[in-house]
Structure formats: C-alpha cells, structure tokens
C-alpha cells in the first residue's frame, strides 16, 4: 500500500497543477498584468465615441474609425480611467471596463477619493505613498503630449472634413449625419480628457496636503513640483475645449 500511495502522489500533484494553471488562465486570458486576450482588438476603445455622444443625447457615427481616430481613443483611455481605480488583484488579471462620460454622471466629483485610497491602502512605509503619488503624476505628464498631439491632428482633419462636405456630390442625409456625429465624438473625447486632467490635478493636490500633515517628508517638495507641472500643462492645452455640443478648436497660442 505505501508503494501504491507513492506512485499515485506525483500523478495527483501534476493534475492539481494543471487544474490551477487552467483556472488562472481562464481568469486572466493572457499574461499577468495585461488586458485579457478576448478584450484586445484594434477597436477596443471605439465605445468611447458612442458613450460621449449617447451621454448628451446624440447618435454615434456609423463610420469606421480612421487610424488617427483610433489612436486618439487608445491614448484617451488611460487618461480617463481614474488612477488607483483598480484593486491590485484586478490589475494582475488584466481587468478592463467601460466608464460613463462626465455628462452622464449625476454624482458630484469627489476630489478626496484618490487621496483616501492612496492613504488607506497598506504600504510598508509612508515614502511609498509619496512614490505612488509622484508615479501617477509623472504618468499623466508623459501621456499629455502624445494625446494632445493626436487630438490636434484629428481636429485639424475634422475641420477639413467639415469644409469638404459642401463640395461632395450627392451627399446623402445619412452620410452627413455620420460625418457630423464623428466630429462631435472626437471633440467630446478631447473635452472628456481635459475634464479628467483638471480633476486629477485637484485630487493630487488634496492627496499631497493630507500626506504632508500625516507623514511629513522631503519628498513632498518633489511631488508638489510635479503636480505644478501637470497643472500648468492642463491650464493651457494645445486644444481648447468647447461646450459639449461644440467642436474643439486648435489653440492659436
């Protein structure tokens, strides 16, 4: 009997390992820290356009996305998703979710949420909280230029699209509606990002103020400089936002 048990034990161990691997694979759908494979696609952020137009009572465009429009949406998503919005275990399994636009939300923006999450989460030391705050701000600063460079190109092409519609032969009402809807989508996405950046600056300042009174550290000065840099960029974006029903315009400054 002991010999039989010794022979069976390796087989059981192998079966258990295989089941564990299959379970983890089903949850993640891919490598750790990456979006699930079934969520990845060229147009995985297309929903942003339908969300912004739907939130203000407009119909989304049925046109296919151009390469520039697709890139605009890809670059917008990480700037729209609130920092620290995912628990650590969800980030490991590549969690991904759509979010309501600011015009759909009826809840007042809570500038304390980011700071409370940052401070309440377990950390080995207070310096790691400062480090996390500075990393989040740096990420936004790094993403700022690529997003707005893409926005300038998209809005410029939309201005050309708008001007060319008067010269298109036999333009159907449906084609015109889709063209206008796409320009509205693009503009609203830019405005959505601008609003999120303004909210992030406010949230980062609140978080830093609480860190300073709870755990004073020389790192606070570095964090304050980074937040100031992001605030300056946000206050003077290359694309100026218009009211929700308008189209964004390229800044001449």
Least confident of 125-134, 205-214, 233-242, 243-252: 243-252
Domain boundaries, the chain: 1-30, 42-250
pLDDT at 79: 92
pLDDT at 44: 85
pLDDT at 30: 43
pLDDT at 98 over 80: no
Per residue in 13-38, pLDDT tens?
554 444 444 444 444 344 433 444 44
pLDDT at 253: 43
Per residue in 182-200, pLDDT tens?
999 999 999 999 999 999 9
- Look at the pTM and tell me if it is higher than 0.95: no
Vertex 78, ends 75 and 84: CA angle to 5°?
Answer: 170
| Residue 57 confidence class, pLDDT cut points 50, 70, 90 | confident
Between CA 107 and CA 95 the distance in angstroms is 24
**Helix, strand or coil for residue 36?**
coil
Closest CA to 152 of 190, 115, 181, 123: 190
pLDDT at 34: 42
pLDDT at 105: 63
Which helix (H) or strand (E) segment is 240 a member of? strand 239-240
Per residue in 113-142, pLDDT tens?
999 999 987 777 889 999 999 999 999 999
Q: How many residues does the chain have?
A: 253
| Residue 53 confidence class, pLDDT cut points 50, 70, 90 | confident
Closest CA to 226 of 164, 170, 142: 142
pLDDT at 83: 84
Alpha-helical regions (H) of the chain: 2-28, 47-55, 67-80, 88-92, 113-120, 126-164, 173-214, 219-235
pLDDT at 19: 47
Cα 215 from chain centre: 30
Per residue in 141-152, pLDDT tens?
999 999 999 999
């Amino acid at each position: 009997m002991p010999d039989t048990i010794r022979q069976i034990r390796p087989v059981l161990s192998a079966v258990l390992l295989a089941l564990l691997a299959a379970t983890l694979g089903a949850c993640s759908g891919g490598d750790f820290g990456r979006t699930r494979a079934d969520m990845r696609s060229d147009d995985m952020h297309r929903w942003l356009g339908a969300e912004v137009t739907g939130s203000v009572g407009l119909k989304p465009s049925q046109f296919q996305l151009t390469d520039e429009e697709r890139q605009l949406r890809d670059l917008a998503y990480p700037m729209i998703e609130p920092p620290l919005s995912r628990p650590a275990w969800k980030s490991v399994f590549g969690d991904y979710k759509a979010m309501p636009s600011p015009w759909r939300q009826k809840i007042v923006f809570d500038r304390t949420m980011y700071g409370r999450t940052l401070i309440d989460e377990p950390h080995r030391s207070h310096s790691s909280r400062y480090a996390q705050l500075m990393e989040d701000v740096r990420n936004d600063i790094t993403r700022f230029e690529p997003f707005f460079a893409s926005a300038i190109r998209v809005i410029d092409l939309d201005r050309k699209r708008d001007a060319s519609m008067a010269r298109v032969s036999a333009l159907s009402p449906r084609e015109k509606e889709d063209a206008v809807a796409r320009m509205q989508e693009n503009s609203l996405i830019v405005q959505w990002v601008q609003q999120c950046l303004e909210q992030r600056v406010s949230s980062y300042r609140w978080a830093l103020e609480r860190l300073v009174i709870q755990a004073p550290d020389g790192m606070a000065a570095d964090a304050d400089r980074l937040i100031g840099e992001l605030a300056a960029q946000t206050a003077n974006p290359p694309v100026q936002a218009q009211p929700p029903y308008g189209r964004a315009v390229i800044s001449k400054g």
